[in-house]
Homo-oligomer: A and B are copies of this chain.
Amino acid sequence: MAGIETVLPRWVEDIGASVGVLPTIESRMQFVITLARTNVERHTGGPFGAAVFESGTGRLIGIGINLVEASNYSMAHAEMIAIATAQRAIGHYDLGRGSRACELVTSVEPCVMCLGAIVWSGIRRLICGARGEDACRIGFDEGPKPDDWVGQLQDRRIEVIRDVLGDQARAVLDLYAKGGGHIYNPERS
């Protein structure tokens, strides 16, 4: 029980290293959808991708894909990995510290766990592709998430932008479902 460790597949590092500055919200969303799609195509995880960018410059700071099955951690959602790699990169647990304003771009709206992680991370803006109900439609679960989650984030001064390239993000969910991808909900026998 010495600790926990999660390693990103090599292809994620390669994609991350090849990215320069992404100036628009749409280009950032396109990037995380590519992560999600590649994760499905390479069979390295679930149909979810996320990244943390410096909002002003569009510089990539953290990168995440769903690694639940690959890592054997149920918390290894794309958003969690993106936030953690960003915090590791800047060397601090508060991504909102000082003058830096960071945003999380995610191919699918967050589940309740990732919603909480967003609040604690110090990010200032959340940008979402597909809706949470799109993930539910193929069998995933958002958990006990408050109905007014967008308002709750806004109350905490976290801006929320939804439905960015939603069709493309939904297409990755459908690709996963059609390919027979595993929907890994816990057993409750």
Which residues of A are interface residues toward B (Cβ below 8 A)? 1-8, 12-13, 16, 62-63, 68-69, 71-76, 80-81, 83-85, 87-89, 91-98, 111-117, 119-122, 124, 141, 143-146, 149, 152-153, 156-158, 184, 186-189
Contact = CB atoms under 8 A, between A and B. Distances in A.
B122 A143 contact: no
A96 to B, nearest CB: 5
Nearest to A93: B74
B111 A184 contact: no
A84 B80 CA distance: 13
A144 B119 contact: yes
Contact of A187 (B7, B71, B94): B94
Most chain B CB within 10 A, of A4, A117, A157, is at A4
A145 B156 CA distance: 13
A157 B188 contact: yes
Given A8-B1, A115-B144, A116-B116, A122 B186 contact: yes
Nearest to A188: B157
7 smallest A-B Cβ distances: which pairs? A113-B116, A122-B186, A144-B152, A112-B116, A3-B7, A74-B120, A4-B84
A3 B1 contact: no
Given A93-B184, A122-B186, A157-B188, A81 B115 contact: no
Given A112-B113, A119-B143, A122-B186, 10 more contacts: A1-B63, A3-B5, A96-B187, A96-B189, A97-B187, A112-B112, A112-B119, A113-B113, A113-B119, A120-B186
Nearest to A141: B119
Given A3-B6, A3-B8, A117-B75, A153 B157 contact: no
